[in-house]
């Protein structure tokens, strides 16, 4: 991804707003709070403006905070890791910690569409190799409204993980979110450029980024809940690349971003034949991991 090259040119995500649609965001995390944006945040499950995750003994609601750390973890503070777009404004929508209905999805996808530039999501139908499902009518309407009118007419950008059902032979072509015309579908590769055990193959994948693989390969390091750092498997690095892209080209439309994502890609070793671009992520325990924040 050559993020250091982008940073050296002063492209750090400043002025770009991203929200993580997930299980919440620890807004007071020491590696995130300086970049926290309340206007890009909401608790759809609890019907209030505070996206703070619900805590339990298993830290089961840590995923949103981890994704946020990969995007906008503060740089040079000796904590956790540094986000790819470490000066981007980051928000979170708590919407997965409860019944996920069509209305919940639509409310999340439609949050402050003229303020938020990028919506990042890594959820969808069950990755069981059997389920075929996609957005309902309300969610479709929110997607369309964002694409047409979001970002003051330039179009909202919806970035989606392609799925973790590889072990179940799941196929992301059967996932109506990642296989949508309105989303940028992102898959993963290990540090060695191989396909991770959880990766799904499908023609809707527009690009691939580095993420975690086996226990012998490097893992993604990020933030986690309760002010800590940790490792995770993820796809968010390429998502954050879009934040840097928007910082450099703020007038780009959603269509421009789609075109740039696919037009500059190349198929990496071991990648699925439908993949158009690849970026680094964690692999086995013997390889370097991506560092980010955690709850």
> Model confidence over 195-208: pLDDT tens digits?
888 888 888 888 88
**Highest-confidence segment of 171-175, 206-210, 252-256, 274-278:** 171-175
- Which class is 3-294 in CATH? alpha beta
Task: Report d(CA 239, CA 67) in Å as an integer.
Answer: 10
Q: Which of 101-110, 168-177, 251-260 has the lowest mean pLDDT?
A: 251-260
Task: Report the distance separating Cα 14 and Cα 35, nearest Å.
Answer: 10
What mean pLDDT is reported for the chain? 83
pLDDT score recorded for residue 272 = 43
Lowest pLDDT segment from 133-147, 160-174, 198-212, 215-229:
215-229
- Residue 134: how many CB atoms within 10 A of its CB? 15
Residue 176 has pLDDT above 90, yes or no: yes
Q: In the annotation, is 120 catalytic? A: no
Q: Rg for the chain (alpha carbons), in Å?
A: 17
- Spatial distance between the Cα atoms of 139 and 60, rounded to a whole number of angstroms: 25
pLDDT over 70 (residue 59): yes
Give whole-number Cα distances, 226 to 28, 121, 174, in Å. Answer: 9, 22, 36
Helices 236-248 and 254-263: crossing angle in degrees, nearest 10, is 120
Active site residue 285: yes
CB neighbour list of residue 99: distance below 8 Å, 6 or more residues apart: none
User: Are the beta carbons of 271 and 207 closer than 8 angstroms?
Assistant: no
Question: At a CB cut-off of 8 Å and minimum separation 6, what does 227 contact?
Answer: 26, 28, 29, 30, 31, 295
Asked whether the beta carbons of 110 and 146 are under 8 A apart, the reply is yes
pLDDT at 292 over 80: no
Of 22, 127, 170, 231, which residue is the catalytic one? 22
Cα–Cα distance for residue pair 269/278, rounded to 1 Å: 9
Check 34, 115, 203, 285 and give the catalytic one.
285
Half-sphere exposure of residue 118, counting CA atoms within 13 Å on the CB side? 33
**Where in the chain are the domains?**
3-294
Whether the Cβ atoms of residue 244 and residue 84 lie closer than 8 Å to each other: yes
For the chain, give percent helix, strand, coil, nearest 5.
Answer: 25, 20, 55
Q: Is 187 a catalytic residue?
A: no
DSSP H/E element including 104: helix 102-109
Q: Distance between CA atoms of 29 and 147, rounded to whole angstroms?
A: 31
Tell me the whole-structure pTM to 2 decimals. 0.81
Query: Comparing C-alpha atoms, which of 123, 177, 121, 156 is closest to residue 17?
Result: 156
Question: Catalytic pick from 29, 63, 243, 272?
Answer: 63
Longest dimension (CA), the chain: 46
What's the burial of 76, exposed, middle or buried (CB within 10 Å: 0-12/13-18/19+)? Answer: exposed
The SS3 call for residue 33 is: helix
User: What sign for the dihedral angle of Cα 165, 171, 174, 179?
Assistant: positive
């Amino acid at each position: 991804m050559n993020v250091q090259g982008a940073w050296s040119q002063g492209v750090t995500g400043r002025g770009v707003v991203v929200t993580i649609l997930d299980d919440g965001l620890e807004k007071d995390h020491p590696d995130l709070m300086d970049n926290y944006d309340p206007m890009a945040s909401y608790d759809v499950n609890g019907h209030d403006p505070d996206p703070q995750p619900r805590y339990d003994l298993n830290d089961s609601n840590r995923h949103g905070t981890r994704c946020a750390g990969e995007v906008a973890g503060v740089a040079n503070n000796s904590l956790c890791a540094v986000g790819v777009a470490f000066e981007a404004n980051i928000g979170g929508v708590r919407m997965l910690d409860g019944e996920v209905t069509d209305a919940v999805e639509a409310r999340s996808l439609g949050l402050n569409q003229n303020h938020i530039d990028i919506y990042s999501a890594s959820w969808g139908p069950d990755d069981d190799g059997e389920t075929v499902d996609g957005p309902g009518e309300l969610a479709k309407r929110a997607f369309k409204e964002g694409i047409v009118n979001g970002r003051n007419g330039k179009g909202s950008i919806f970035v989606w993980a392609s799925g973790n059902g590889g072990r179940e032979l799941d196929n992301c072509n059967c996932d109506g979110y990642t296989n949508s015309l309105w989303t940028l579908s992102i898959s993963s590769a290990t540090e060695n450029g191989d396909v991770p055990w959880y990766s799904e193959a499908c023609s809707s994948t527009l690009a691939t980024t580095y993420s975690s693989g086996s226990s012998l390969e490097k893992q993604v390091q990020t933030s986690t809940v309760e002010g800590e750092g940790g490792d995770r498997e993820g796809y968010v690095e390429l998502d954050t690349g879009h934040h840097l892209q928007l910082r450099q080209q703020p007038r780009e439309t959603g269509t421009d971003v789609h075109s740039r994502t696919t037009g500059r890609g190349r198929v990496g070793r071991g990648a699925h034949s439908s993949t158009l671009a690849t970026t680094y992520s964690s692999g086995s325990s013997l390889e370097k991991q991506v560092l980010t924040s955690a709850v």
